[in-house]
Amino acid sequence: MSSKQSFVYSRVNRGVLLALATSAAVAFMPASAQETSAAAPDAAIAEQVERISVSGRLLSSAAATAEERRQQPYVAELLGIEQISRAGDSNAAAALRRVTGLTLVKDKFIYVRGLGERYSSTLLNGAQVPSPDPTRNVVPLDMFPAGIIESMVVQKAFSPELPAAFGGGNVNIRTVSIPREEIFNFSVGVGYNSLSSDDGLDYRGGGDDWRGKDDGTRGLSTGIQDALNKYGSLDVVKIAQGLGGITPANLVAAEKINRNLGLELNRDLDINNKSIGPEYDTSLSYGNRFDIGSTVFGVMAGVSYDKSSENFKEQERYYSISSGTELTPLNRYDDIRGTEHQVKMSGMLNFGLEFDSNHRIETSSIYLSDTKDEIKIKIGDSIETINEALRENEDYSILYEERSMLTNQIRGRHTLDFLNDLALDWQYTDAKAERNAPSEVEYRYVRQLAEDGSLLNRTMRRSDNAAIYQFGQLEDNTENVSWNAKYPMTIGSTEYAFSTGYAYFERQRNAGTNRFKLDTRGFSNEELSQSFSNIFSDANISNPAKRFLLSDVTAQADDYVAAQQVDAAYVGVEATYDMTWRVNAGLRYEDFRQISVPLNPATGEIQGNVADFPRQEDDLYPALAVTWMQSEETQYRFGFSETVVRPDLREVTPVLFIDPITDFKVIGFSDLKSTSISAYDLRWEQYLDSGSNYSLGLFYKDLTNPIEAVELKGSDGNLLMSFRNAIGGEVYGVEAEALQKLDMFEGDFGQMLDNFFVVSNFTYSESEIEIESLGETNLTNLVRPLTGHSKYVVNFQLGFDSDNEDHTATLTYNVFGKRIAFAGIDGKDDAYEQPFNSLDFVYSYNVFTDGSLKFSAKNILNRDIEILQQGEILQMREQGVSVGLSFSQKF
């Protein structure tokens, strides 16, 4: 981003926030929106959990989280650290796919009850956090390593202390807190994927790649940055104008400047084969608490490092309808191989003060870093070569992307004895997420084949855009303040708890992209048959006899600034009659303001009609939950709520941009409406003293104006996507869950099974949306299921705990039903991602006291990810079988 753009960005951003700001008073110390309803249980509940008597570490942990779920007034699911560790899941996204009704998409995003990622929201210790994704508000959950997680709460029914942007559910990630005693833990691990038996792909990177940071090798040079600041573009004519006018002398000077700028690009990008070593990870944590008179001071710190390289194989096709329903391929790449190098780092530092049992203050600082370096080679046909039998493409791409998040939080919880045990909690969170993509490079060679299919020659494509360089940056800053208060009261046989709270959320986002192309039309076939670095050598670029041109092709709206502000307040009451009936009712008010402003990358000027950009809405959102506690073991729940799902920042800006996740061209739509959701839940739950528990639930959601991604006309395999509101939609289904210890059998067989238990859940649901026939798109099916919705989700877990707890083993199985990946157009049927049967195994052995050795195997069935359209492969990716071995020691 140029200094001129930075100035414009900051100026626009301040203006945006001033335009959005209101004079609502903000308390300095906020409340954690989740601490009240989905945080650690209070003392009475904790005592109940401690009294549960079951054998086996995981069964005890599962029973404890089940007991906390039992106490929740609204329908929720919980995952504890023991359960996450037991299944061998490395991050929050991987763990959450085992929760009832949840599926994982692109290894990052969670679909709750078949509703896409836009319908789920994420909190960190009760606070909203920023996203490093430039096109989405939602946080990729693979950012959160398992090592920092104490537990996760998935609340499926809305409660008024949560943000009203609530669709399928809300995920609250609760991080490790202050320990009860001094602890010191470390772990090391290695892993290997079956696809890594082949050589991987690599290129010359930077000296700091081992720590997931580019050392400047890939990034935009100072010279190019200065030229953009001075001339606004690298175009020769623009440079000449900046030199004083378009004269022959200035054009010659401008061409020389352009060549010199080309020399400043990183052109050492030859892709080579390299053997792939095992992946490895390590972590270290320390915690302690100190008594200082009546005050307790605690500290918890931890760091982790994970480095991996994995190969992958893919297929990729796109089709048109030639006649009837027959598909004709426009693109066909059946030979795609690549390597993904990844470095993940995390750090955590928490402090806590307990003045007495009634007052507790904690701070939490968390840093997460996730760097991906993906190299890919595709051999096949595009629309230009699909009909030429002896000609095909060889496409190369490099994507280097750094994602990071830094969160600082202070929160407190207080019980005021002198006010009849009034409970007060608050939190303030300041967070920043960044995405730095200093090098995205694509280039193509054309292969000529002999009649027998052997390679005759390959030359780089002669074109004005033979190679594309892209540099992207995003910074997303959020501030979050809130407080909650709860006042208990008893009248006769009824216990009341009156609650209220306030929350303020603010987001500021800056995003910028620079995109350039290299011209090879001045090179001979002999020169173009060389490697990338030789074609664009210093000698060739500097030679005035050869035509060379570096051009700026940044789209008019690749740069943008955006801001959000939300003021919210709620009131609620909980009434418990005779420990038999519990009624929770509440009402939330939100005032939502948003603006997303596209900027001209050369001048920083606002693009489009400013009147289209601001968005403001406010409304009331009710919630009701009724629980009938029929007995100590059995209870029934009913819930109703009304919520909203708003468009993401870029979806309402009517300008063209490129989605970095899908690589599709996307154009926003300013008339996009928010989705209103009415939700109903009915659930039966049973909790036994043995720790076994069962549940069966029904749910129904009615959606008004659901937002759907649609393909526009004329994209011809180069997909152009946009967003439109459907008329309406609905999703409904049934969920079942069971945790059962296998101790019901007698004899030797029964004695053997005493150490086993099963955890299983099943979801079956239906969905439907109705969308109007749009003039700019030819949707094949105007009535169809929701994009991303699976009719069924199955999770099964068989666990073993030895009597002495030295041996534990877990076999886990997960499968989801097929789901729409892309809606079909022009007579093509919808494209469906096929069911993925995942079978994993984890075994742990306590070698020493508090020292365990763990073996894991993932995707044992060696299944692949497939997207089919009318029975033909649209996309396919081989996953391979992964195995790992780790050792951890606690002191």
Phi, psi of 698 (to 5 degrees): -120, 145
For range 330-339, the mean pLDDT? 93
For range 407-423, the mean pLDDT? 94
pLDDT of 337 strictly over 50: yes
The pLDDT confidence band at residue 414, using thresholds 50, 70 and 90, is very high
Residue 691: the pLDDT is: 77
Residue 25: the pLDDT is: 25
Can you list the domains of the chain with their CATH numbers? 3-205+280-514+555-890 (2.40.170.20)
- Quick one: residue 251, left, alpha or beta (phi over 0 = left, psi -120 to 50 = alpha)? alpha
The amino acid occupying position 280 is Y
Residue 282: the pLDDT is: 92
Q: pLDDT tens for residues 504-517?
A: 999 998 888 888 99
Q: pLDDT tens for residues 701-713?
A: 999 999 888 877 6
Cβ 206 vs Cβ 216: under 8 Å: yes
* CA atoms within a 13 Å half-sphere pointing along the CA-CB vector of 356: 5
DSSP 444-488: EEEEEE-TTS-EEEEEE--STTSEEEEEEEEEEEEEEEEEEEEEE
411: helix, coil or strand?
A: strand
Whole-angstrom Cα distance, residue 113 to residue 157? Answer: 11
Q: Report residue 242 as tokens.
A: 């900046």
Calculate the CA 48 to chain-centre distance: 35
pLDDT of 16 strictly over 80: no
Which of 153-163 are b and which e, b meaning 16 or more Cβ less than 10 Å from the residue's Cβ? bbbbbbbbbbb
Cβ 862 vs Cβ 881: under 8 Å: yes
Q: Report residue 272 as tokens.
A: 């080579």
Q: pLDDT tens for residues 29-61?
A: 233 333 333 333 343 333 333 333 344 455 556
Q: pLDDT tens for residues 445-500?
A: 999 999 988 999 999 999 999 999 999 888 989 999 999 999 999 998 899 999 99
User: What's the sign of the alpha-carbon dihedral 255, 259, 265, 271?
Assistant: positive
Closest C-alpha among 221, 431, 197, 464 to residue 337: 197
Cβ 398 vs Cβ 203: under 8 Å: yes
Cβ 890 vs Cβ 849: under 8 Å: no
Whole-angstrom Cα distance, residue 675 to residue 642? Answer: 11
Q: pLDDT tens for residues 129-170?
A: 888 776 666 777 777 877 778 888 888 899 999 999 988 888
Residue 882: the pLDDT is: 92
Whole-angstrom Cα distance, residue 397 to residue 379? Answer: 12
Calculate the CA 269 to chain-centre distance: 29
Helix 43-51 to helix 57-71 angle (10° resolution) is 140
Q: pLDDT tens for residues 706-733?
A: 988 887 765 555 567 788 889 999 999 9
Whole-angstrom Cα distance, residue 599 to residue 592? Answer: 23
Residue 88: the pLDDT is: 64
Cβ contacts of residue 566 below 8 Å, gap of 6+?
163, 503, 504, 505, 506, 590, 591, 592, 593
Strands 149-155 and 76-80: antiparallel
For 760, counting Cβ atoms within 10 Å of its Cβ (0-12 exposed, 13-18 middle, 19+ buried), the class is middle
Select, from the ranges 68-77, 649-658, 878-887, the one with the highest average predicted confidence (pLDDT): 878-887
Pinpoint the alpha helices (H) of 651-708: none
Q: Which residue has the tokens 């390679």?
A: 455
Q: pLDDT tens for residues 256-313?
A: 999 999 999 999 999 999 998 899 999 999 999 998 888 899 999 989 999 999 999 9
Closest C-alpha among 471, 409, 576 to residue 71: 576
Residue 395: the pLDDT is: 96
Strands 707-711 and 720-725: antiparallel
Residue 864: the pLDDT is: 93
Cβ 758 vs Cβ 738: under 8 Å: yes
Whole-angstrom Cα distance, residue 663 to residue 468? Answer: 13
Phi, psi of 284 (to 5 degrees): -145, 135
User: How many residues are present in the chain?
Assistant: 891
Q: pLDDT tens for residues 841-871?
A: 999 998 888 888 999 999 999 999 999 999 9
Q: Report residue 40 as tokens.
A: 């650690």
Cβ contacts of residue 526 below 8 Å, gap of 6+?
none
Q: pLDDT tens for residues 222-245?
A: 999 999 888 888 889 889 998 988
Whole-angstrom Cα distance, residue 804 to residue 868? Answer: 49
Residue 540: the pLDDT is: 92
753: helix, coil or strand?
A: helix
Q: Report residue 529 as tokens.
A: 């048959």
Radius of gyration of the chain measured on its C-alpha atoms: 29
Terminal Cα distance for the chain, rounded: 48
User: What's the sign of the alpha-carbon dihedral 609, 613, 614, 615?
Assistant: positive
Determine which helix (DSSP H) or strand (DSSP E) holds 5, and give its type and residue range.
helix 3-20
Cβ 127 vs Cβ 33: under 8 Å: yes
Give the global pTM: 0.85
Strands 665-667 and 720-725: parallel
Whole-angstrom Cα distance, residue 629 to residue 42? Answer: 19
Whole-angstrom Cα distance, residue 166 to residue 118? Answer: 9
The amino acid occupying position 675 is T
Phi, psi of 253 (to 5 degrees): -65, -40
For range 351-364, the mean pLDDT? 91
